Amino acid sequence: MLTFALKRLGLAVLVALTVSAVSFSLLYLSGDPASAMAGETATSADIESIRTLYGFDRPFLVQYADWLFNALQGDFGQSYYFKLPVSQLIADRLSITMLLGVCGISFALVTAIPLGVAAAVRPNSFIDRTALFISVMGQAMPSFWFGLVLIVIFSIQLNWLPPSGSGGWKNFIMPTVVLGYYAMPAIMRLTRAGMLEVLNADYIRTARAKGAGEWRVMFKHALRNAVVPVVSLAAVQMGFMLGGSIVVESIFALHGAGYLAWESIGRNDLPTVQALILVFAGFYIVFTFLSDLANAWLDPRIRVG
């Protein structure tokens, strides 16, 4: 297990370094950063002064090494627009995005796994077709449209939930449903396919022949093996939720890290965009690493592979 964990950790570090290099390159892919900071009315002398002040005249690799060293210490520089440390901006906003992501993936798992199991136990039944309908709707329906529909129904017409803001737990109900519904179809289909495969396995028939109860067979023997790929998918979806929450946060005016990313992109605030890409990618890498360890614990055969 330790050897497997060290291999996965080494791979995660390599991926993180690659993402950091790509993230830093955004500073130059968008044009001359000194010209962008100086503005349209700046003179050549002003641009050169800014280039020297911020170290843009140094070699690229030297700038990257310096930026990476500071980033590892939590220093991502200063925001061009907000004129505040980027680390402070992200720290103030990240809690909302993390809470929304945890609520969204929890809603998806609690809803999708039972539906997937029920659909596998009774294939081609009403439950199976209902689960398929929910899956197709989740894939076909854009998140922004679904969010607007919920606002019209539950906020404007019924007046049950607040349409925007992050003042209380009610503000997170509709964003959680919208974000979680995005991940439900894939988790539901994977659970159903895994359960169908496992339920036809020899060891399941043996357990039933020995007189094991149906609930014991279903949840102790079948679901434990069928859920292995679901763990990996849930980690991937969690990473997507944190990075893709920009749409949901914009619709419901949740001023989290996703909304900060939208603001920074629109205002060409490159240091903030760089840091957010690195932070979101870091969460994605950590969740994937933890899912690999969880799968190796659930299925020891993975450690050998």
Q: Does residue 70 fall inside a structural domain?
A: no
pLDDT at 152: 92
Q: Is residue 174 part of a domain?
A: yes
Does residue 35 form part of some domain? no
Q: Which of 42, 172, 16, 170 is nearest to 107 (CA)?
A: 172
Please name the amino acid found at residue 296.
A
Cα dihedral 123→186→96→163 (10° resolution) = -70
Does residue 82 form part of some domain? no
Give, in order, the Cα–Cα distances in Å from 304 to each of 3, 5, 233, 298, 301: 10, 12, 21, 13, 6
Whether 75 is covered by a domain: the verdict is no
Q: Is residue 37 part of a domain?
A: no
Task: Report yes or no on 126 lying in a domain.
Answer: yes
Q: Write the CATH number for 118.
A: 1.10.3720.10
Cβ-contact 241, 179 below 8 angstroms: yes
Look at the chain and report how many structural domains it folds into. 1
Q: Per residue, what are the HEC states of the chain? A: CHHHHHHHHHHHHHHHHHHHHHHHHHHHHCCCHHHHHHCCCCCHHHHHHHHHHCCCCCCHHHHHHHHHHHHHCCCCCECCCCCCEHHHHHHHHHHHHHHHHHHHHHHHHHHHHHHHHHHHHCCCCHHHHHHHHHHHHHHHCCHHHHHHHHHHHHHHHCCCCCCCCCCCHHHHHHHHHHHHHHHHHHHHHHHHHHHHHHHCCHHHHHHHHCCCCHHHHHHHHHHHHHCHHHHHHHHHHHHHHHHHHHHHHHHCCCCCHHHHHHHHHHCCCHHHHHHHHHHHHHHHHHHHHHHHHHHHHHCCHHHHC
Q: What is the pLDDT of residue 159?
A: 87
Per-residue confidence (pLDDT) for residue 302, from 0 to 100 = 62
Torsion of the alpha carbons at 272, 273, 275 and 278, rounded to the nearest 10: 170
49 is a domain residue: no
Give pLDDT, residue 84: 85
Mean pLDDT of residues grouped by 10 in the chain (305 residues)? 74 83 74 68 75 76 84 82 86 87 88 86 83 82 86 90 81 89 85 79 67 64 71 75 77 85 80 85 81 70 59
Give 85's strand partners: 78
Terminal-residue alpha carbon distance, the chain: 12
Tell me which residue of 237, 9, 223 sits closest to 105, measured CA to CA: 237
Q: Which domain holds residue 209?
A: 93-268
**Verdict on whether the full-model pTM lies above 0.85:** no
